[in-house]
């Protein structure tokens, strides 16, 4: 007889997510850790899209998003900010181990299309002071990216260019 533990665990996983979301909302992680990685924004973003994930059957049936993606990409400045900060927190955690492996000695420019919050470039800038970067992303995303890049001390070496998504013909 198959063990149903994995399926039962998946069905109950929302309970653990809600504990995580409540802990983040209550500031418990901020209180416990003064870490610069800051996954709280990423956790809060997951909470914000939780209801959309609850509409997964609708997405599968219709093939259309249940929430307008532009909400997170500039249409709603607060939701866009939350999205960019969430991606920033995740990138701080994951890109730290990637950056030292990049072979950028002798390079002076970096192009970052879809560069989001510019987090990866700011981390690279710490290891490669000779580099400057052009970050290309949507205008709403770049409004937050410029702040994040400056906060990380890479503002003088970063240029941002607003781009738009165009359908491919």
Q: Give tens-digit pLDDT for 3-28.
A: 889 899 988 888 888 888 888 888 88
Closest CA to 71 of 140, 10, 133, 156: 140
pLDDT at 77: 95
pLDDT at 36 over 70: no
| 147: CATH | 3.40.50.150
- Which residue, 21, 46, 67, sits at the end of a domain? 67
Position 157 in a domain = yes
Cα three-residue angle 48-148-74, rounded to 5 degrees: 50
The answer to whether residues 54 and 126 belong to one domain is: no
Q: CA 165, CA 139: separation in Å to the nearest integer?
A: 11
Residue 105 has φ and ψ, to the nearest 5°, of -60, 135
DSSP class of residue 113 equals E
Which range of residues forms the domain containing residue 122?
A: 72-80+97-169
Position 92 in a domain = no
The answer to whether residues 57 and 110 belong to one domain is: no
The residue that leads in pLDDT, 153 or 30, is 153
């Amino acid at each position: 007889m198959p063990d149903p533990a994995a399926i039962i665990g998946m069905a109950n996983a929302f309970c653990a997510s809600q504990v995580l979301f409540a802990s983040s909302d209550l500031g418990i992680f901020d209180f416990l850790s003064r870490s610069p990685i800051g996954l709280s924004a990423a956790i809060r973003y997951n909470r914000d899209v939780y209801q959309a994930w609850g509409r997964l059957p609708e997405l599968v049936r219709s093939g259309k998003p249940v929430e307008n993606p532009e909400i997170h990409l500039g249409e709603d400045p607060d939701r866009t900010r939350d999205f960019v900060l969430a991606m920033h927190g995740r990138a701080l955690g994951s890109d730290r181990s990637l950056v030292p492996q990049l072979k950028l000695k002798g390079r002076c420019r970096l192009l970052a299309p879809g560069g989001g919050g510019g987090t990866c470039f700011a981390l690279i800038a710490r290891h490669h002071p000779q580099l400057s970067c052009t970050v290309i992303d949507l205008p709403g995303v770049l409004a937050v990216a410029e702040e994040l890049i400056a906060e990380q001390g890479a503002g003088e070496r970063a240029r941002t260019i607003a781009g738009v998504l165009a359908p491919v013909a």
